[in-house]
């Protein structure tokens, strides 16, 4: 008998948004980046790459 939900670790799950971009995509001014951090502190925001190509966290 297999452990409950063990199929989650087999890689047979639906694709994600990252499937829509190529691995060599370079961020450009105006691109939006979702940043999520969790643990002792939490942070969740959508950041925009500025006109100089900077992304400030």
pLDDT tens-digit readout, 8-49? 677 665 655 556 678 788 999 999 999 999 999 999 999 999
Distance CA 53, CA 37 (A): 22
CA dist., res. 13 & res. 5, Å (int): 12
pTM of the model: 0.58
Q: Residue 50's pLDDT band (boundaries 50, 70, 90)?
A: very high
Predicted pLDDT at 46: 96
pLDDT of residue 2: 78
């Amino acid at each position: 008998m297999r452990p409950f939900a063990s199929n989650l670790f087999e890689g047979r799950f639906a694709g994600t948004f990252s499937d829509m971009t190529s691995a060599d995509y370079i961020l450009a001014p105006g691109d939006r980046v979702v940043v999520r951090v969790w643990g002792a502190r939490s942070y969740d925001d959508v950041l925009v790459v500025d006109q100089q190509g900077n992304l400030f966290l």
